[in-house]
């Protein structure tokens, strides 16, 4: 018994049956790489020339071109660069918004009335509600009580503390009629 050998037409039919799916797969891979490269480059660069050139390189060289693109493409996408810029801006804004003492320029907290380092008055108390007000405010935003404007940078003086008096001055003021 001998096994019949396939004829030449049978072999060409079998090769065609295998070649068609392989060609379709290769075409889909090639087209997918070109489209992916274009979209990836568009996400990484605003330059239309660079986008087209990267896509053409992958279209012509296929997998080697795609590998070259992966080696040469920009490191971060435009979204990543934008987010990094936002983070940097937020950090700079936090640094700039930190309150500092006008007398010694050291950092202070928002609720401090007097600088603990140099004694400079930072805020004044509201006569109506006793909340801390900025020195340049003429009206309390909490209760609406007018307050006398105080120039910034004055040395700390507690308005409620009694002023030290000389006993000799006190005797003369008691002796003099009002």
* pLDDT tens sequence across 149-170: 555 444 444 444 444 444 444 4
Per the domain annotation, does 128 fall within a domain?
yes
Residues 108 and 56 in one domain: no
Residue 164: predicted pLDDT: 44
Residues 19 and 68 in one domain: yes
Contact 77, 44 (CB under 8 A): yes
Per the domain annotation, does 39 fall within a domain?
yes
Residue-wise pLDDT tens digits, 86-118: 999 998 887 777 788 888 988 888 888 889 999
- Cα–Cα distance for residue pair 81/70, rounded to 1 Å: 18
User: Which of these three, 26, 46, 79, is where a domain ends?
Assistant: 79
Per the domain annotation, does 172 fall within a domain?
no
* pLDDT interval class at 72 (50, 70, 90): very high
- Cα–Cα distance for residue pair 78/86, rounded to 1 Å: 12
Domain housing 47: 8-79
Residues 69 and 120 in one domain: no
Per the domain annotation, does 16 fall within a domain?
yes
Residues 69 and 28 in one domain: yes
Per the domain annotation, does 17 fall within a domain?
yes
- The phi and psi torsions of 121 (rounded to 5 degrees) equal -70, 125
Per the domain annotation, does 165 fall within a domain?
no
Residues 66 and 123 in one domain: no
- Cα–Cα distance for residue pair 152/97, rounded to 1 Å: 18
Per the domain annotation, does 3 fall within a domain?
no
Residues 59 and 111 in one domain: no
Q: How many domains does the chain have?
A: 2
Per the domain annotation, does 171 fall within a domain?
no
What are the residues facing 123 on neighbouring strands? 134
Residues 107 and 152 in one domain: yes
pTM of the complete model = 0.51
Q: Looking at residue 161, what DSSP letter applies?
A: S
């Amino acid at each position: 018994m001998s096994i019949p050998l396939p004829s030449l037409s049978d072999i060409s039919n079998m090769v065609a049956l295998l070649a068609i799916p392989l060609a379709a797969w290769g075409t889909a891979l090639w087209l997918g790489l070109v489209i992916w490269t274009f979209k990836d480059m568009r996400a990484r660069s605003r330059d239309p020339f660079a986008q087209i050139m990267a896509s053409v390189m992958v279209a012509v060289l296929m997998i080697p071109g795609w590998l070259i693109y992966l080696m040469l493409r920009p490191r971060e996408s435009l979204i990543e660069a934008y987010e990094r810029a936002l983070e940097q801006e937020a950090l700079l804004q936090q640094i700039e918004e930190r309150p500092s003492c006008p007398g010694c320029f050291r950092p202070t907290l928002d609720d401090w009335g007097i600088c603990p380092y140099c004694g400079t008055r930072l805020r004044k108390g509201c006569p109506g509600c006793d909340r801390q007000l900025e020195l340049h405010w003429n009206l309390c935003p909490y209760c609406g009580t007018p307050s006398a404007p105080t120039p910034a940078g004055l040395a700390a003086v507690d308005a409620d503390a009694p002023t030290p008096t000389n006993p000799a001055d006190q005797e003369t003021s008691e002796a003099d009629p009002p």
